[in-house]
Homo-oligomer: A and B are copies of this chain.
Amino acid sequence: MLAKATMQSSSPRPRLVMKFGGTSVANVERIKNVAQHVKREVEAGYDVAVVVSAMSGKTNELVAWVKEASPLYDQREYDTVVASGEQVTSGLLAICLQAIGLKARSWQGWQMPLRTDTQHGSARIGEIDGSGILKSFAEDGAVAVIAGFQGIEPKTGRIATLGRGGSDTSAVAVAAALKAERCDIYTDVDGVYTTDPRIVPKAKRLDKVAFEEMLEMASLGAKVLQVRSVELAMVHNVRTYVRSSFDNPAQSSPGTLICAEEEIMEQPVVTGIAYSKDEAQITLRQVADKPGVAAAVFEPLADASIVVDMIVQNVSADGKTTDITFTVPSADYARAMDVIEKRKDEIGYELLQGVQDVAKISAIGVGMRSHAGVAAKAFKALADRGINIRAITTSEIKFSVLIDVAYTELAVRTLHSLYGLDAA
């Protein structure tokens, strides 16, 4: 024991953060399976911190009670109620780990502490004090089981939650704070695919994805990782794996590594195709082409908390009027139309047109930076299949097209083949 302790203090073990979401901890049996995954990594020589979500369904139950108590609930009390879900899982996993011979203890957000700002319900992480966990690693060799999604607002000492999916963000932030070798996010899929395998059976699992690409994929509807967690991983350069908790714990496959661009040797031009069906398109015809018009359109929408995605405004032909097209989430379509209609005189447009059944298809790849004509190829391929493009936006590492929703699957398959992503 003494020899071991001495060895540990002279050369600390590498650290690993593992994160398990709701379906991976849905019941005690599944939590025991998670314990086996953790054991594998401890035996591989890591000091492990595990971040857990609430058992699946629990958060919804708690949120429903809060809303029943009052639709106008106090966000701080919401956080108090909802954070209890992760608290339960953390204690149960610690017990399951102890039952298979590992030392373990649970850590709530306020116990580390993980300090947040005051935005209860969608708080941002300020600072994580990892010293308690590092001491526990060094002195006890104990696995740290961390309740995800939660922290403490230091001024008031109240519990604050990070918003839905915040456990991914907790995990990456903890990995940064502990200077972990990597952060493994366990999900119900075994990695990040070139596109949705339900639409394209030939979709391939990617071995590596650059942070920037993953960011675009996450925000474009590939629901594997929370956008914020990818941002955080990119800023702190946390090598993050997406892997499956449904694998046999004894021989878990590595999944997909999300890492810095430099770490990816052979960079394809396009890495993946994402799509989003929950889009609606709104067009204002013959808007006066003068300064302040865009603000007149988009400020009221922002005030109504409506997130505007694609915005297309052409240079006007006559120098007097122009058309403005933008997209909003389908769920906000009616409200957005209402906001614009009420401000018709203020904005000054001739005609308001809306279409609900539209989809956004995007191709993403850091390789686009160094390749010309990538998007042009897509426009031709889609036209060849009779798919009309309603709008186009491009950025450095992606382009998106807006099309009729009925053509979604055809468009995704077309682009997936076009850029050589189909599995052999």
Contact = CB atoms under 8 A, between A and B. Distances in A.
Contacts of A85: 84
Interface stretch (A69-77, A308-316, A364-372, A406-414): A69-77
Contact of A28 (B68, B72, B74): B68
Interface in A64-118: 65-66, 68-70, 72-74, 76-81, 83-85, 87-88, 90-92, 94-96, 98-99, 105-106, 108, 110-111
Contact of A74 (B74, B84, B98): B98
A65 B98 CA distance: 15
A213 to B, nearest CB: 39
Given A28-B65, A65-B28, A91 B78 contact: yes
A347 interface: no
A62 to B, nearest CB: 7
Chain A interface mostly helix, strand, loop or mixed? helix
Given A72-B99, A74-B98, A84-B84, A91 B66 contact: yes
B157 A111 contact: yes
Given A84-B87, A91-B78, A69 B157 contact: no
B62 A99 contact: no
B78 A99 contact: no
Nearest to A86: B84
Of A79, A92, A98, A106, which is in contact with the most chain B CB atoms at under 10 Å from its CB? A92
A31 B65 CA distance: 11
Of A77, A87, A105, which is in contact with the most chain B CB atoms at under 10 Å from its CB? A77
Nearest to A94: B77
Contacts of A78: 91, 95
Q: How many copies does the complex hold?
A: 2
A89 to B, nearest CB: 9
Given A87-B87, A90-B80, A105-B76, A95 B110 contact: no
A32 interface: yes
Contacts of A110: 110
A28 to B, nearest CB: 4
A66 B80 contact: no
A106 B77 contact: yes
Contacts of A74: 94-95, 98, 105
Nearest to A35: B69
Interface in A320-368: none
A95 B73 contact: yes
B105 A77 contact: yes
Contacts of A77: 91-92, 94-95, 98, 105-106
A131 to B, nearest CB: 13
B81 A66 contact: no
A84 B92 CA distance: 12
Nearest to A31: B69
B99 A70 contact: yes
Nearest to A82: B91
A84 B116 CA distance: 21
Interface of A: 28, 31-32, 62, 65-66, 68-70, 72-74, 76-81, 83-85, 87-88, 90-92, 94-96, 98-99, 105-106, 108, 110-111, 157-159
12 contacts: A28-B68, A65-B88, A65-B92, A66-B92, A74-B94, A77-B91, A77-B105, A80-B94, A80-B106, A80-B108, A81-B92, A84-B85
